[in-house]
Structure 1
């Protein structure tokens, strides 16, 4: 099989600030696998969690280095290919792009979308949350109104963990609540709180009717989650603390759910394992994203019927997304009927 690797840059309509910094633009990677005249597409986007950083350069270099090794395989040899990627310790985002492309090729080769191949039901897909980044109260209120004008918003995820402390978090969240009093609110601190602040905020947030808190403590402080769970009236989800299915058994006594992202997990194959592992432990499942375009988010949407919560909104905040795929209806990101991922080029394709 032939493998092509290309870069593309996407710009956010509104820069996103979380506890670790602000992102306005990213350079992502598109992978194409070609065999028998069929192209399978996949995407890798850079991300960093604590000391773990997968830059565009690192991902691209890994893909270029592994390409000569993989070209002797055909796309049906999925298990063998996955073993090779693990042997060479390919970064998870690079594995995700290749895994997506293999699935896309498979679906196109048999003329079926992935959700159809998996026998899933699009009717049970939950609404996606859309994100309000860390901001001033006035800025957060404005961003909330922007989302409400842009689409049929059913859920808002509010990023907290401000460097100015939890009082700034409270003021910002109240501004969002006042602007969207009927919308379900979730909170994601991206590891920006101390244990004491997390306990205090969980009690305060519960009184406001917030539905859950995500990643309240930094990655590496998972042992403190036990104490937080004892005091928190709200369900606790983890994101940065959970990359793959192997992480889940160590977390089950401390959390109520996990946020699965294709770039962390290494693709749809591992994401599916994570779903089954989490549900075996009676944990809730969320699918999230980084600065992904419609390509990666449409891939994640293929598995969306298996999720309890969705946070697949990054492509909705892009002004130059080169792809189009899943549609948004009644606040839900819905994969289409086209074969494979169902992704095509948009007007912004280079």
Structure 2
């Protein structure tokens, strides 16, 4: 098989601020795998999580190693390809791009969309959240109004907290946003590890009183050992994101959390994402899907598995000025994959 890639700089319509900083653009790598006159597409998105940061240069280095190591195989030789990838040990974003491209290729080979290939029911897909980043109370309210104006059918909102200015700033922003919530809105919180244990306990109680659904990554990864104590005191379900990359991270933490956030770029692709879903469910945990600065390609890929998720946050492509692909579409607030073979994506003309 022939593997090629190109870099495209994606620009956000509205910069997104979280506890770790602000991002307005992303240099994503787009992969093509060609064999038997069929082309499969994948995407690798850089992301920053402390010592597990993956830059565009890191991804390019891994992709070059992958191309050298697996190009001799056919896309149907998945077992030997997986073993080779384990030996190469590329960064997870690069592996995700290859894995997604292989699945896209397979779906096109058999003429089925991936959700149908896996026997899933699209009608079980729930609403996807749109994100309001850390901002002033006025700025946050303006952002949610723009979301409501652009997508009047949206039914789920994720709010980024963990402000460097402290929980007083978080509370002020959330209180202002409450005036913008609609009766049917599902509200969730993501602190991106921006709180101490004491702050997380305070905020969990405060937010539960304001009808928040769940709390994501309240503590930094370095405080994983405190998750159990927080769970005992929190009236809200605790989901982890940065603390969970693959299925191997689930078992050590399963007693101290309520669910996990799966992202393609952390997991290394759809193959591991499926493994994480089944592991989490076997442990009695909830499953949510998230994204980084992904285009429609990556979010459409994860949307193929969305019937198996309890919560969805696949909105990054909705905030792009130059989205290079079309694919899954919003229908009544739900990101719905189509009936085209493979991912069902197409380059924007």
Q: Tell me, what secondary structure is at the counterpart of 1:107?
A: helix
Residues 182-229 of structure 1, C-alpha deviations (whole Å, 9 max, x = no match): 222100000000000000000100110111100000012111011101
> Which residue is equivalent to 1:27?
27
SS for the counterpart of 1:253 is helix
Q: Say if 2:65 and 2:88, in contact at 8 Å, map to a contact too.
A: no
Specify the alignment match of 2:108 in structure 1.
Answer: 108
3-state DSSP class of the match of 2:222? coil
Matches within 5 A, 1:251-266: 251-266=253-268
* Residue equivalent to 2:75: 75
Q: Equivalent residue of 1:221, what SS?
A: helix
* Alpha-carbon contact 2:289-2:312 (below 8 Å) kept: yes
Single out whichever of 114-123 and 48-57 deviates more from structure 2: 48-57
Contact 1:50–1:219 at 8 Å: present in 2 too?
Answer: no
The equivalences for 1:1-350 within 5 A come to 1-151=1-151, 152-182=153-183, 183-347=185-349
Preserved CA contact (<8 Å) 2:106 2:342: yes
Cα-Cα RMSD: 0.7
Give the unaligned 5+ runs of structure 1.
Answer: none
CA contact (8 A) 1:325 1:344 kept: yes
Instruction: Give me the whole-angstrom Cα distance separating, in 1, the residues matched to 2:263 and 2:82.
Output: 18
1:252 match: secondary structure? helix
TM-score normalised by length of structure 2: 0.98
Q: Give distance in 2, aligned partners of 1:39 and 1:119.
A: 23
User: 1: CA distance between counterparts of 2:74 and 2:322?
Assistant: 33
Q: CA deviation at 1:240?
A: 0.2
1:68 positional shift: 2.1
In 2, are the aligned partners of 1:324 and 1:346 still within 8 Å (CA)? Answer: yes
Kindly indicate whether the alpha-carbon contact (under 8 Å) linking 1:31 and 1:97 is maintained by their aligned counterparts in 2.
yes
Aligned length: 347
Q: Distance in 2 between matches of 1:74 and 1:121?
A: 30
Residues 104-133 of structure 1: CA distance to partner in whole angstroms, max 9, x if unpaired? Answer: 000001110000100000001010010000
Distance 2:157 2:177 in 1: 9
Contact 2:126–2:310 (8 Å) recurs in 1 = yes
The secondary structure found in structure 1 opposite 2:179 is helix
What's the offset of the Cα at 1:346? 1.3
| Contact map agreement 1:159 1:189 (CA 8 A) in 2 | yes
Distance 2:78 2:290 in 1: 24
Q: For the residues of structure 2 that align with 1:110 and 1:165, how far apart are their CA atoms?
A: 53
CA distance in 2, matches of 1:66, 1:210: 43
| Contact 2:195 2:219 survives alignment (8 Å) | yes
SS in 2 for 1:333: strand
The CA distance in 2 between the partners of 1:131 and 1:192, in whole Å, is: 17
**Structure 1 segments of 4+ aligned residues over 2 angstroms from their partners:** none
Q: Contact 1:47 / 1:290 at 8 angstroms: preserved in 2?
A: yes
Q: Deviations over 1:213-258 (max 9, x none)?
A: 0000001211101110111111000000000000101111110000
- Structure 2 CA distance for aligned equivalents of residues 205 and 29 of structure 1: 38
Q: Aligned equivalents of 2:36 and 2:149: distance in 1? A: 45
Secondary structure of the corresponding residue to residue 179 of structure 1:
coil
Q: Aligned-pair distance for 1:66?
A: 2.1
TM normalised by structure 1 equals 0.98
Distance 1:86 1:136 in 2: 45
Pairwise CA distance, 1:274:
0.1
